[in-house]
Amino acid sequence: MGAALSTGSALLFSEVSSAGGMLPWYQNIPFASIFLLMIAGIIMPLFRKGKRGFCLAMGVSLLVAALSAILLVKLSINGERFTYMMGHYPAPWGNEIAAGPLEALLALMFSLVEALSLLGGRKDAASDILEPKQSLFYLMMCELQAAMLALTYTNDIFTAYVFIEISTLAACSIVMARDTAKTIVATIRYLVISLLGSGLFLIGVVMLYCITGHLLIPQLGEKIAGLVATGTYTEPLTIVAGLLFIGVAIKCALFPFYAWLPFAHGGATTSSSAVLSGLVLKGYIILLVKLFYEVFTIELIRSLKVTNIMFVFGIAGMLVGSWRAIGEEHIKRMLAYSSVAQIGYVFMGIGLGTNLGVAAAFYQILVHAVTKPLLFISAGRLIRVQGHEKSLYRLRGSARNDPLAGVLFTLGALSMVGIPLLAGFVVKFSLASASLLNPNRMWIALIALAVSTVLNALYYVPAVIAVWTPSGFMQRKKQPPDWMFGVSGAVLGALVVFLGLGCIGVIGVIQNGLSLWL
């Protein structure tokens, strides 16, 4: 991707003029963030020691988080959304990045959480992954983060597909980094099913290009608006929307396409599980919502009945994921099944077909991006202090060996259940409020939220009780404190509390960003 810019190469949705001078410096941040991560990945194999690769990956993730925070402040103050032309080719043939407050917020959260996940799972990665492969592991982490940012920022549907494939290969690599028979089998299953989703998405992209002759999102939106106005290509557009949705649903483990997730996420090293569950699943959803808003419009998606399917699948995922988690004894697989339920919350919000529902879905993306990595790194620490036991029965008393890990695991679990003042409660309250604007689905949504909350409590509360209950298994040799886990867990825990108490400001940024997509 080229970075050459000329005067007037950015079109500002906020009507900020780009004529007569160079672009504002902060508009280079989205491209610079992706570029830095890709360059870090390229030079990573030069490091033979995993510690150096870890330091580089951590450093570049924190740098990107800082740049994203600056971009968020600038765009929020200005109420601005801009496009950034890549290379020398203008629309409709070129490649573009589009950034507004919502994209900057997501980039900030993704980058910060990835850095914290790497920090919190460093000791597990050092023991689970062979030393010669550790630098390659951090290479894939950098490429995975670059792919997530590209899916968030891209203004070109084919470039989005390219980064979907990069994300798929990088995600499979970080699962397989823990070189065991079970992770290899889980990776193969993950790869096959994920490529099926990618293939369906690509077919949708090809059909969309054949119908419209465009790949850039603004031009696609204009062309489809014209087709809808004339009543032509209604059935092909329905098929395209369905292919894009099903492709993304497979890749993000929405019910009923979740069979690959528990074994892939449950068997990977701690940092991989945290990033895969908390972040990677969300990148595809963000892209899908962007396409539904900016290419098809949410009104067209409602008229094509796609939101009906999303609503049904979302509720089914909420209930089935929680039900499967109740019967799971392996702590990491329990958390993975919980992610199936949490993805269901996102799609239920989108399926409500209202702007408030989509805003609640995005808030759930942020909350889950923070809470699930907190749970995974806390579980990883409890497993380590308990002699690498993963069964909840054998983890009894593990929190007494490391009270900080126990407290953080408890905090994350209570947030997932929906205890007031924590982030999970705000999500459920927001979804309930959004359902009131859709009388046809209000009672179904409210009942599903209530039942799902009870099911959440039925596996999270026993897990919390188990790790605090004294037993013979807790008599282990004391391990030295892990300051990396402590710092990571404390920051993630603080973010869970912040998203519970500071929800008004964050939801305001989300709603402002969504308004700029319209």
Domain boundaries, the chain: 25-517
Residue 92: alpha-carbon gap to chain centroid: 29
Instruction: Tell me the two tokens of residue 469.
Output: 């209950």
Helix, strand, or coil (residue 49): coil
pLDDT of residue 88: 67
Mean pLDDT of 46-65: 88
Q: b/e for 291-325, b at 16 or more Cβ within 10 A?
A: bbbbbbbbebbbebebbebbbbbbbbbbbbbbbbb
pLDDT of residue 494: 94
Asked whether the predicted pLDDT for residue 22 surpasses 80, the reply is no
Asked whether the predicted pLDDT for residue 5 surpasses 60, the reply is no
- The Cα 24–Cα 250 span in angstroms is 39
The set of residues, in sequence order, having a beta carbon less than 8 Å from that of 5 and lying 6+ positions away, is 22, 23, 28, 84, 85
DSSP codes joined into one string, 227-296 = HHHHT-SHHHHHHHHHHHHHHHHHHTT-TTS-TTHHHHHHHS-HHHHHHIIIIIHHHHHHHHHHHIIIII
pLDDT, tens digit, 9 for 90 and up, residues 243-258: 999 999 999 888 888 8
- The Cα 384–Cα 326 span in angstroms is 23
Instruction: Give the confidence band of 9 by pLDDT, cuts at 50, 70, 90.
Output: very low
Residue 221: alpha-carbon gap to chain centroid: 25
pLDDT of residue 15: 34
Asked whether the predicted pLDDT for residue 4 surpasses 50, the reply is no
Alpha helices in 98-180 (DSSP H): 101-120, 122-128, 131-153, 157-176
Residue 414: alpha-carbon gap to chain centroid: 21
- The Cα 437–Cα 77 span in angstroms is 30
pLDDT, tens digit, 9 for 90 and up, residues 363-384: 999 999 999 999 999 999 998 8
Asked whether the predicted pLDDT for residue 477 surpasses 70, the reply is no
Instruction: Tell me the two tokens of residue 450.
Output: 């209530």
Instruction: Tell me the two tokens of residue 258.
Output: 């979740």
Q: At 56, which amino acid appears?
A: L
The set of residues, in sequence order, having a beta carbon less than 8 Å from that of 58 and lying 6+ positions away, is 115, 118, 119
Mean pLDDT of 212-234: 86
Asked whether the predicted pLDDT for residue 12 surpasses 90, the reply is no
The set of residues, in sequence order, having a beta carbon less than 8 Å from that of 44 and lying 6+ positions away, is 53, 56, 57, 135, 136, 138, 139, 142
